Every structure is written in structure tokens, then in C-alpha cells.
């Protein structure tokens, strides 16, 4: 791996961004600013699309780890809330099925498009 040394300009090698002295002073810092600051530690707003673009460039192992962490984090619901939500959903589906209003598919209807897709 090459040594990370900033190049002239806004971004240098290894995703390092130079912070202009004027910006550093505007943050109210009294100490001498560092030469470089890691890109992702700056006070900046990034869109979800930009974050997604960066995530897609991750090596497979890191991508899998990140995906697992995000899925595990969920939406902040507790296990009891999630269980209660699933119970309501299951009861709704059972009621639809018993009333004859559920849309159902035979295994053959599901299998054929899957096999065609896998054959490509």
C-alpha cells in the first residue's frame, strides 16, 4: 500500500482532505490545525446517493460487514415491538387466506420464472 501523502488541491491520496486555515479558524479552534484531516470526519452533509456510491466501492468483506451491521441496527424498534408487528402481520395474512381474499400462487407459477432467471 503506498504511503498516503496529500497532493495539492482539495483531496489528496487516500481520501484525505486539506482543511483551509480560514475554515479551521471559523470553527473556533485556537490550536494549530493539523495538515490533513480524514475526509469522513469533516462537518459536511453528504447525500444518501453519495454514501451509497462509496459503499459500492468497498471490498466484498467490508461490504458484507457493513450490511450486517445496518440490518442488525434495524429501525430502533425493540424485539418486543418487532414480535408484536409480526404477530399482527401473520394474523392479517391468515384472515385473508381464510376469507379467500389472499392472492396465492402455485409452486409451478413461482418455480418457472425462477428457473428461467437462473438459466440466464
| Percent of the chain scoring above 70 in pLDDT | 63
Mean pLDDT across 34-53: 66
CA end-to-end span of the chain, whole Å? 39
Q: How far apart are CA 80 and CA 92, in angstroms?
A: 18
C-alpha cell at 113: 420464472
Q: What is the pLDDT of residue 71?
A: 82
Mean pLDDT across 35-45: 54
> What's the DSSP call for residue 118?
H
88-118 pLDDT, tens digit per residue, is 999 999 999 999 999 999 999 999 999 999 9
Q: What is the pLDDT of residue 64?
A: 87
Of 31, 34, 26, which is closest to residue 6 (Cα–Cα)?
Answer: 34
Q: What is the pLDDT of residue 99?
A: 96
Greatest distance between any 2 Cα atoms in the chain: 73
Q: 4 Cβ partners below 8 Å, 6+ apart?
A: 12, 13, 14, 16
Q: What is the pTM of this model?
A: 0.38
* pLDDT confidence tier of residue 13, bands split at 50, 70 and 90: very low
> What's the DSSP call for residue 11?
B
Of 43, 9, 15, 39, which is closest to residue 29 (Cα–Cα)?
Answer: 43
Q: Is the pLDDT of residue 79 over 80?
A: yes
Mean pLDDT across 6-28: 46
Amino acid at each position: 500500500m503506498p504511503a498516503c501523502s496529500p497532493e495539492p488541491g482539495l483531496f489528496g491520496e487516500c481520501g484525505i482532505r486539506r482543511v483551509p486555515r480560514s475554515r479551521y479558524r471559523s470553527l473556533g479552534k485556537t490550536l494549530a490545525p493539523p495538515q490533513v484531516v480524514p475526509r469522513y470526519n469533516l462537518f459536511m452533509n453528504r447525500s444518501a446517493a453519495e454514501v451509497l456510491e462509496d459503499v459500492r466501492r468497498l471490498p466484498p468483506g467490508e461490504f458484507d460487514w457493513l450490511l450486517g451491521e445496518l440490518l442488525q441496527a434495524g429501525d430502533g424498534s425493540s424485539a418486543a415491538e418487532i414480535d408484536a408487528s409480526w404477530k399482527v402481520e401473520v394474523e392479517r395474512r391468515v384472515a385473508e387466506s381464510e376469507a379467500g381474499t389472499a392472492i396465492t400462487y402455485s409452486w409451478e407459477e413461482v418455480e418457472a420464472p425462477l428457473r428461467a432467471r437462473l438459466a440466464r
